[in-house]
Structure 1
Amino acid sequence: MRNILIDIYKTNNLYSGLGQFSLNFAKAILERNPQDISIHLLYKQSAEFDLNADNFQFHKANTLRRFISNYPNKFDLWHSLHQFPSHLPPKNCKQILTIHDLNFLIEKNDIKKTKYRNRLQKNIRRADAITCISKFTKTMVEQNFDLGNKKIEVIYNGVEANFDQVLNKPAFLNGKKYFFSIGIFNFKKNFHSLIPVLNFFPETQLVLAGNHETAYGEFVKKEIKRHHLESRVHLLGKVSETEKLSLYANCEAFLFPSLAEGFGIPPIEAMMAGKPVFLSQETSLPEIGGKQAFYFESFEAEKMAELIQTKLKEVEKNPNFSKETKNYAQGFNWEKCISRYIALYQKMV
């Protein structure tokens, strides 16, 4: 039986996209329970998650082994779930490197861009196989890095959201209608573009979830004050899974004007609730949202509001919209994702 290690170190922060991806990846492969390979999971000791399985082995990461590959078990394959892995495999171990995005090319200054570019090039050179979570990311990698003879395989993320339970509208809204968005507060999320849009929807609130104790969070707060919308924009900070699902389930629409995404899990989560989803036309979002989402052609408040108003009227007239949206979102499931990875594992070992 072949031994395969999966680096789920990013589960140390379950409020991040990478943390959720790593946790759900582990859950999905544990549920699949492949019989012909032995799965080992590398995690940070401080990570808080519930993954109990007698037929899998867990390895606590430590600082020394982060820089010196010195693990007691011999692994035939090492899967790094992120392009900048926390730990590196031994030299004689095959490696799969999963690349999520190249957002550093947009977010970082020239010095840091060079640093991250060199680091990723080294990781690509070290890997035996590369996967990307979207065709957009694949194209970006091909345009910016030397792949040698390596081919990139695109495997879409799985997305999971259980809306079968009863999810009441959040009490703090007192029954008022609201738009919803979620994400870590950094400039690429472009949340501030949503603030003036509220001026065109006097009966609607805006709810933003995610850690707003950041420099960009302070900027958003200033924009809220500048538009005198303190009573109508709600910054919730980090929310629990149940709170998140409730916010999706009861919103009028999900607004996601992000400028840079490697995939875009929140739009698919919102679609799983059958909600209208409004996205930017940037990076991977048109690929992931497909024809089922609506797209901002401009970030001018009036034009954004016009699109939302027009499309919500169309949705109201379409009795099949919610069902069609849910069906589309079901295409991004963990069973399909894990099946592709297990096939790759088997091919490589």
Structure 2
Amino acid sequence: MRIGFDAKRYFLNKSGLGNYSRDLVRVMEQYYPENDYIKYTPKITGTGFSDNSIKLPQGRLNTFLPSIWRNKWIVEDLKKDDIDIYHGLSGEIPMGLAKNGIKSVVTVHDLIFLKFPELYKPVDRYIYNRKFKRATQEADKIVAISQQTKRDIMEFYGIDSHRIDVIYQGCHPAFKIQKTAEQKELLRAKYKLPQNFVLNVGSIEPRKNAFQIVKAVEQLDIPLLIIGKETIYSKGIKEYIHANGLQHKIHILQGFNMEELSTIYAMAELFIYPSKYEGFGIPIIEALYSGTPVITTNSGVFPEAGGPFSYYIDPKNTEELSYAIQSVLDNSIMRQEMISKGLEFVQQFNDDKIAAQWNGIYTNLNG
């Protein structure tokens, strides 16, 4: 099979949709090398990309109007390249695939812009909704990254259940490699990290709910590391930290590479993720692979990602979160069970299993 990918996020996003795209293509290239995988992108940033499987817009008009190329004119390139299946990795596909004999699959990560419209500008909501609605109506197969996202697609777009499969996300291999004591101590010294700490990772925005963690650990004897892209929301957190003299306890950091980040996960006593809503929640499985117990939200997608041995809380209840943190820190038997059972649970997200599911999708579409 010759499979084309919408690789814009693959090349241009450092996290989130970029990680998803890179991991999916990586596992397919590794486990099913007999297929051809062609990556289509309007541009590439950085150096070191000389792979002849990468396709950029050609010609003056396509180069000048890359967005139109990606959403419409790319179909001519797909025909020339004899693409059997085109996979939109981030909720959109170009127009005209079906009438040109090209099968299509689209991954839908979440419908946050519909679930929480107040978090988005009206123009952004309009654009996202238009793209996602058309993609889910026209694609030969829709893949949701969780049962929660599948339910949302059915609710908001009226799509029949049989048209939507669920294939969970994997994560970067770095989180699956056990870290040595020497690796941890070198990183601790490099960044002056505390000896013991609890961890939160993700963009620092209202939906992720990091402020709640700050308040929950305020009276506990454990430092908190928050790692993620800062927003206006993080300004309020910093003001609270300074107003309450918590500078020695709460540390907001960013800029780590994947190897460093995975080592920090492995160093943490606990991973705390009281997000209000996610399409899946990759940081949860990153923590489980790292052998770090997880405290997360008790509804939505979070039990799907965290499994039966994570600790679930009401994300709006600061006292409940604080109690959960202290309980896990104080109970070494419970903590060890969360670690060992969490590692067992997370094996369902291994690369070979995810690749096999995707190969089944592609094979069925091409049959």
TM-score w.r.t. structure 1 length? 0.89
Structure with greater helix percent: 2
Contact 1:281-1:295 at 8 Å conserved across structures: yes
Give the Å deviation of 1:31: 0.8
Contact 1:268-1:329 at 8 Å conserved across structures: yes
Q: Which residue is equivalent to 2:297? A: 280
Q: Which residue is equivalent to 1:190? A: 209
The one-letter amino acid of 2:353's match is: K
Residue 206 of structure 1: which of 216, 221, 224 is its match? 224
The one-letter amino acid of 2:346's match is: A
Q: Which residue is equivalent to 1:73? A: 81
Q: Which residue is equivalent to 2:37? A: 39
Residue 130 of structure 2 is aligned to residue 94 of structure 1? no
Contact 2:274-2:315 at 8 Å conserved across structures: no
Q: Which residue is equivalent to 2:56? A: 60
Gaps of 5+ in 1: none
Residue 150 of structure 2 is aligned to residue 138 of structure 1? yes
Alignment of 1:1-349 (within 5 A): 2-35=1-34, 37-48=35-46, 57-61=53-57, 62=63, 63=66, 64-67=68-71, 68-69=73-74, 70-71=76-77, 72-84=80-92, 90=97, 91-92=99-100, 93-109=102-118, 111-112=122-123, 113-147=125-159, 151-160=163-172, 161-166=175-180, 167-169=183-185, 170-171=188-189, 172-173=191-192, 175-202=194-221, 204-212=222-230, 214-316=231-333, 319-349=336-366
Q: CA RMSD in A?
A: 2.5
Gaps of 5+ in 2: 58-62
**Deviations 1:214-241, CA, capped at 9 Å, x for gaps:** 2122222223223321222111123211
Give the Å deviation of 1:333: 1.4
Residues 298 and 156 of structure 1, relative CA distance in 2, 3 Å threshold = closer
SS state at 2:133 partner: helix
**Deviations 1:180-217, CA, capped at 9 Å, x for gaps:** 11112221111111111222213x211111111x2122
Contact 2:178-2:290 at 8 Å conserved across structures: no
**Deviations 1:114-162, CA, capped at 9 Å, x for gaps:** 5433332111122111010101100111011032696101111122323
Contact 2:227-2:252 at 8 Å conserved across structures: yes
Residues 294 and 81 of structure 1, relative CA distance in 2, 3 Å threshold = same
Residues 259 and 49 of structure 1, relative CA distance in 2, 3 Å threshold = farther
Identity between Structure 1 and Structure 2 (%): 23
Equivalenced residues, count: 342
**Deviations 1:77-114, CA, capped at 9 Å, x for gaps:** 101111135x5564422110111111112343484545
Contact 1:206-1:232 at 8 Å conserved across structures: yes
Residues 18 and 50 of structure 1, relative CA distance in 2, 3 Å threshold = farther
TM-score w.r.t. structure 2 length? 0.85
Give the Å deviation of 1:44: 4.9
The one-letter amino acid of 1:136's match is: Q
Give the Å deviation of 1:50: 6.8
**Deviations 1:47-91, CA, capped at 9 Å, x for gaps:** 4587787xx722125515224223141312101111135x55644
Contact 1:136-1:262 at 8 Å conserved across structures: yes
Give the Å deviation of 1:176: 2.7
The one-letter amino acid of 2:357's match is: R
SS state at 1:330 partner: helix
Contact 1:27-1:51 at 8 Å conserved across structures: no
Stretch of structure 1 that moved more, 73-82 or 218-227: 218-227
Q: Distance in 1 between matches of 2:223 and 2:46?
A: 33
Contact 1:195-1:227 at 8 Å conserved across structures: no
The one-letter amino acid of 1:168's match is: K
Contact 2:293-2:335 at 8 Å conserved across structures: no
SS state at 2:285 partner: helix
The one-letter amino acid of 1:196's match is: K
Stretch of structure 1 that moved more, 303-312 or 131-140: 303-312
